[in-house]
Structure 1
Amino acid sequence: MIERGSPVPSVRIKLVGADGATDTTSDAVLGSGIVAFFSVPGAFTPTCHVNHLPGYLANLGKLNAAGVDKVVCASVNDHHVMKAWAEASGALGKIEFIADGNGELAEAVGLAKDFSGSGMGKRFARASILFRNGKADAVFVEDGPGVNASGAPAMLMALETANG
């Protein structure tokens, strides 16, 4: 699993925006400035849709005030699903969305989790990473169901501690 000080890996991803999806790399999206990155097992899944993404959306102002340049959400879904989720949640244009359809980024950061028991295959674990200038500064991975360690409040606390 990615650790504090580790560089952002460079793997192929699709960055989802209002105009569709752009082929790029993870380091191009996450590698500069202060980035609040969070990963979810699946777009539209109950906890992701009702708790995780809305928490970051509701705290965008506080995150920006704490120095975050951008907030980025990733899931092992295709870019069509990620765009539909961004639109449905009102986050399109506010939060950037990475469609990691093949799970390459999930594997590269060591956050791939097997959800085969739920019929979902390999996905991202529910987690968040604070990236500063291309390196992981703080890593939070949920150890149970729900959003606790990886939610926006935990990210804000990490920023407060680092900026302290």
Structure 2
Amino acid sequence: MIEVGSTLPEVDFSLLVNGEMTNPGTAELFNDKRVVVFAVPGAFTPTCSQAHLPGYVALADKIKAKGVDTVICLSVNDAFVMDAWGKANNAEEIMMLADGNGHFTKQIGLDMNTSDFGGLRSMRYAMLVEDCVVKKISVEDPGRFEVSDAESMLKSL
């Protein structure tokens, strides 16, 4: 599993921008930037939709005021689902980034098999990345939501 001090792997993601598919890579998203990434097991799922994403939506401005360039919500979903989920939650200040095949999630060792409801998914976590290097990471135990929330991230900045 990725740790503090690790460099993020170079991966292409999927992102809808004004209805057009784009495929930004790790370098484009993280080089020379301070970024908060929080990952969820799935868009439109209960904890993700009722607590995790809404918390970051509510605190995005305060997080950015602490010198964060971008707040990214990452999930092993497609870009269309991530875009729709962001719109449904008024997540204008959050980049809704898709790791559709889980390439990034697998390479950082935070993948899990949820064959009961969805197959390959991301573990729930939040991390602070500066210039592609992990500076802080909080990974939830399965079924928990205690350390990767927006309030905890804001306090740690």
**Which TM-score applies when normalising by structure 1?**
0.90
The 3-state SS of whatever aligns with 2:127 is strand
8 Å CA contact 1:47–1:146 kept in 2: the answer is no
Residue in 2 that maps onto 1:16: 16
Residue in 1 that maps onto 2:98: 99
Using the aligned pairs only, state the percent identity: 41
Residue in 2 that maps onto 1:134: 132
The 3-state SS of whatever aligns with 1:47 is helix
1:114-139 CA deviation, whole Å, 9 max, x = no partner?
111x2210100000110012100001
C-alpha RMSD of the superposition: 1.3
Residue in 2 that maps onto 1:63: 63
Q: CA deviation at 1:38?
A: 0.5
Q: Distance in 1 between matches of 2:83 and 2:130?
A: 26
1:21-55 CA deviation, whole Å, 9 max, x = no partner?
20121232133311010000000001101100000
Residue in 2 that maps onto 1:156: 154
1:80-109 CA deviation, whole Å, 9 max, x = no partner?
111111111111x31111111100011111
Residues 66/95 of structure 1: CA separation in 2 closer, same or farther (3 Å cut): same
8 Å CA contact 1:31–1:131 kept in 2: the answer is no
Residue in 1 that maps onto 2:45: 45
Matched, 1:85 2:85: yes
Greater CA deviation, 148-157 or 9-18?
9-18
Matched positions, count: 157
Residue in 2 that maps onto 1:147: 145
Q: Distance in 1 between matches of 2:59 and 2:21?
A: 25
Residues 102/144 of structure 1: CA separation in 2 closer, same or farther (3 Å cut): closer
The 3-state SS of whatever aligns with 1:13 is coil
Q: Distance in 1 between matches of 2:133 and 2:95?
A: 18
Q: Distance in 2 between matches of 1:5 and 1:31?
A: 15
**Which TM-score applies when normalising by structure 2?**
0.94
Q: CA deviation at 1:17?
A: 2.8
8 Å CA contact 1:112–1:122 kept in 2: the answer is yes
Matched, 1:25 2:43: no
4+ runs deviating over 6 angstroms: none
Q: Distance in 2 between matches of 1:139 and 1:157?
A: 13
